[in-house]
Structure 1
């Protein structure tokens, strides 16, 4: 059977999987997620409505509020520092990376409350077009923040950039079964992340942007997906629902790569191509 991953992606996938434990201990998983973090260059951090943020550029004008991935449990400002720097460099825009509260210590909706609080702060501080972005669970938070801004009279959002977002707690799409194992991010991991985030009584439907009843009035959206990813189909479904609701929605589906491939900038050409196209999309909305 032909491997759907490119040879470079397969080698990277195996190396990453070897150092990443199965679901079970938040502390163990957090340590594994930080194992590859190199020394982070100096950066400006501040408090945004009580939430710690890291700033990449402080000039007035367009700004991207970014929520990191990690299943609402793992990762932090440092694990995604390189990605934020790359996006800031490629777009020429300021970025605000959100150090939101993580599960299971802080369950839904604590993380999205933090992203929404930072969104309000960024709107007042920068004054220009306001964008939301995030990867995986961070994509979930960005999508939820856009919905809440629309519904609650929050600041106008000019666009949302969602990298392989977690949008549907049910995990019942074809890709969740087809790529359940063997492609680094497993369906079992994702189910465990949802359990940590929601707890025994969290509102799973409310936490799932893909299940929102009404998607009208949302900002232009780019959904960037990996073909070999349990979350692929929920991203495709969300983008198609947005289009049906009259929202300008685009899908960039990258073949031969797995969930989290954007972390392999300089190693996987697909990662560099995805970042270049994503940056071009955001900057086009500023014109």
Structure 2
């Protein structure tokens, strides 16, 4: 199964690719990862410390109680981006879902290779569970969420702490460091996020590619069976598409409530982009988050 980018997505993809650095220069990539247009107003936005990891807390309704809490991990190949680059996306998610969103500023590779980011992710999850009541949330409704490499961190945190999260919301995550799926060949060039970039990101991140806390797709059935309800948001024209589909199949075989939303005509990273599919996907993800039991 493969598709083509929509005309709007193709134009945006080409414009972004024309100014985005190639793999190999950490400083240039970080300089290119700048925030987009601002997101909506949220009643309370504040920075805090979560067990030594900086976080930004988005609360759309201070004083409310019993709400879901989303622990969000930003994308960027584990080497770039941060709280500011994903500020608008987190604002939109909080405003649309009514949930508190805690965005984690985990340490980046290559200065801090695997498993540092996964340790930071687990630290923030444990902090969120402990502080959920204070934040007006139900500690039993904590959801792990993230896009791209942040989706990988969310999936790994769920594996490392079975039973602590009520859900995982994963947007086009890298799940297998071997990069052996068919969509890598189909969409590894000319679709903004290239196979060359992904391979370089994996190299900077490090870790054993066969380890399930590097490649969650390699996790055993017993570990997968302990995972919470899952939403996978995937782009059809993305080299990581088939990894996501394979993970969904494995979760389903292990008895996990897993839903896949495959969006046609768009490329990796579309969730935060000014495209109809991006707006629809974000609205759907927010509704799924709000419905966390």
**TM-score interval, smaller chain:** over 0.9
Q: Greater CA deviation, 211-220 or 101-110?
A: 211-220
| Structure 2: stretches of 5+ with no match in the other structure | none
User: In the alignment, does 2:96 pair up with 1:90?
Assistant: yes
- Other-structure match for 1:33: 33
- Other-structure match for 1:258: 267
The CA RMSD measured in Å over matched residues stands at 1.7
TM-superposed deviation, 1:8: 0.5
Query: CA separation in 2, counterparts of 1:39 and 1:284?
Result: 26
- Other-structure match for 1:112: 118
Select which of 184, 188, 207 maps to 2:192: 184
Query: CA separation in 1, counterparts of 2:129 and 2:235?
Result: 31
| Aligned 8 A contact 1:37 1:78 in 2 | no
Query: CA separation in 2, counterparts of 1:205 and 1:92?
Result: 38
User: In the alignment, does 2:205 pair up with 1:203?
Assistant: no
TM-superposed deviation, 1:204: 1.9
- Other-structure match for 1:24: 24
TM-superposed deviation, 1:39: 6.6
| Aligned 8 A contact 2:154 2:170 in 1 | yes
Query: CA separation in 2, counterparts of 1:28 and 1:37?
Result: 17
TM-superposed deviation, 1:203: 1.9
Deviations 1:5-27 (A, max 9, x none): 11110110011001101101111
Query: CA separation in 1, counterparts of 2:286 and 2:84?
Result: 21
Q: Provide TM-score, normalisation by structure 2.
A: 0.90
Give the count of matched residue pairs.
275
Q: Provide TM-score, normalisation by structure 1.
A: 0.92
Query: CA separation in 2, counterparts of 1:3 and 1:211?
Result: 27
User: In the alignment, does 2:290 pair up with 1:283?
Assistant: yes
Query: CA separation in 1, counterparts of 2:246 and 2:226?
Result: 18
Deviations 1:99-127 (A, max 9, x none): 00000000001001101101111111113
Q: Greater CA deviation, 168-177 or 60-69?
A: 60-69
- Other-structure match for 1:220: 229
